[in-house]
Structures are given as C-alpha cells and as structure tokens.
Amino acid sequence: MRLLLIRHAEARGNVQQKMLGRLDERLSSHGVLQAQLLGQFLSRQSWAPTHLYSSPLKRAVITLEMLVACHLKGDDFPSIQTDESLLEIDNGIFQGLTWQEAQEQHPQLCEQLMNSQDVIPIPGSETLSACCDRTRRFIHTLYQTHHPSDQIWAMTHGGILQYLIAAILDTPIVWGMRIGNTALFEFEVTLSSSSQSRQNPQLCRIHRFNECPHLPEEQDLGDEMGIWD
C-alpha cells in the first residue's frame, strides 16, 4: 500500500498566523497557487491514487479537489471521502487567535505553556491522547481495509500530521516538526504478521518526508507550533 499524506495549501488565516484549529477557512490566493503547483507536480509522478481521503474542512477539501483537477484524467479519479480522523487538532479557547492575541487574553496560561515541559491543557481543546487515539485508529483502518496494491492520498493539517506520522512509524513518541503548506509525506507499507518481515526495510519504505519539491523556495518554511493550522 502506498500512502501520500499532504498538508493543505495556505489558508487565509495562515497568512495572519492564526491558530485555526477547526475554523473552516478557504485558501488564500497564494494557497491556490501552491495547490496548482503541487497538482502539476503530482500529475508528472509515476503513480495516481486509487483512493482519496480528506479532512472535512474547506482548506483541505479544496486543496485536494485542485490536485485532482490538474490531472488530465481527473474524471477517472475516485471520489473524495471525508474523514473526521483527519481534522486538525481542536485548540479550544485559542481557536482563531494569533499567539500574540492569546498572550493578551490568557497571559497566565501562555506563560505556563512556554515555561513548562508538562502537558498543560488548553480549556476546550482536544487532549493529546485523543489525537493519538484517532490517528492510530485511522491508520489501523487503512491497513485493515485496503489491498496491498492500493494507492492513497490523504489531505490533512499540520498539527495532526505529527500524530499520523507517529502512528505510521508505530512509535510512542510524537516528534514535533515544522510542516509547510502542501508538504508531502510518502510511505510504502507491506505489513505482515511475521516479526521478521516487520524488520525488513524493503517492505516498509519512506519515499518522501516533509518535502515540498514543487515549492523549492518554501522548502524550509513552516510553523513553529503545530497549533497554527
């Protein structure tokens, strides 16, 4: 099974560095260009998807629709299946705020977040364990329901991508990373119940990891915190 995880193109709130969370914003004009360039890049690759998954939020669905539209045989593409497991992290009372606005409105909480290594819950937000649970369920469902020959695109968000990657790599650690808009993570997975096969690097391969080859000038850009998306 081949799986391409994609962060959506730039949304209007991303330009203002808002912590969008579950806010349902459309793409910025630059985001439209990013999606067009990614669609052109993917149309030149050697494989096309047999299945399409997306977060239900507009910025994700629109990005994926634009990628499909860039393919000459886009009419033959599978329909997009939205899945709430791919939603961005719900960041509670921070939703829609910039970090500066959050510091002004919730100074004590922001100081705790900046100065403590402990998990500080944000009122109304999704817990980290809930993020782990839903992404692991999503990846497990893919493994259980798809054939080895299936080729999947999944459009999602920068914050939850870190948890999806942890689920794919089967690690208890969620590694923080800067993920730019339209960044690509491509995995090839051939799973077996044999412990020896799981240790064979020829059966589980990483082809791309946090790459934006279609945006060479933006490869190193991303958000400092996974809550901006």
Residue 10: band (very low, low, confident or very high) from pLDDT cuts 50, 70, 90: very high
Bigger pLDDT: 219 vs 104 = 104
Q: State residue 229's pLDDT score.
A: 67
pLDDT at 166 over 70: yes
pLDDT at 222 over 80: no
| Residue 144: burial class (beta carbons within 10 Å; 0-12, 13-18, 19+) | exposed
pTM of this structure: 0.91
Q: State residue 220's pLDDT score.
A: 41
Q: State residue 175's pLDDT score.
A: 95
Question: Strand runs (DSSP E) across the chain, as ranges?
Answer: 2-7, 51-54, 80-82, 151-156, 184-189, 204-211
Q: Are 79 and 52 in contact (CB under 8 A)?
A: yes
Q: State residue 158's pLDDT score.
A: 96
Count CA atoms closer than 13 A to 73's CA, side-chain side: 10
Q: State residue 216's pLDDT score.
A: 73
Q: State residue 72's pLDDT score.
A: 62
Instruction: Using alpha carbons, list the distances in angstroms from residue 195 to 1, 48, 145.
Output: 18, 31, 21
* 222 phi and psi angles, rounded to 5 deg: 180, 180
Residue 195: band (very low, low, confident or very high) from pLDDT cuts 50, 70, 90: low
Instruction: Using alpha carbons, list the distances in angstroms from residue 196 to 89, 191, 193.
Output: 35, 11, 9
Q: Residue 94 — left, alpha, or beta (φ > 0 → left; ψ -120 to 50 → alpha)?
A: alpha
Average pLDDT over residues 165-169: 96
**What share of the chain in percent tops pLDDT 70?**
89
Q: State residue 201's pLDDT score.
A: 81
Average pLDDT over residues 103-128: 94
Q: Are 212 and 180 in contact (CB under 8 A)?
A: yes
pLDDT at 12 over 50: yes
**What share of the chain in percent tops pLDDT 90?**
80
Per-residue pLDDT of 70-94, as tens digits, reads 886 656 789 999 999 999 999 999 9
Q: What is the chain's mean pLDDT, rounded?
A: 90
Q: State residue 224's pLDDT score.
A: 41
Per-residue pLDDT of 125-164, as tens digits, reads 999 999 999 999 999 999 999 999 999 999 999 999 999 9
pLDDT at 225 over 70: no
Which tokens sit at 37?
């360039």
Q: In which order are the strands placed within the sheet that holds 184-189? A: 80-82, 51-54, 151-156, 2-7, 184-189, 204-211
Domains defined along the chain, listed by start: 2-98+128-218 (3.40.50.1240)
From 47-56, 74-83, 116-125, 194-203, the region with the lowest mean pLDDT: 194-203
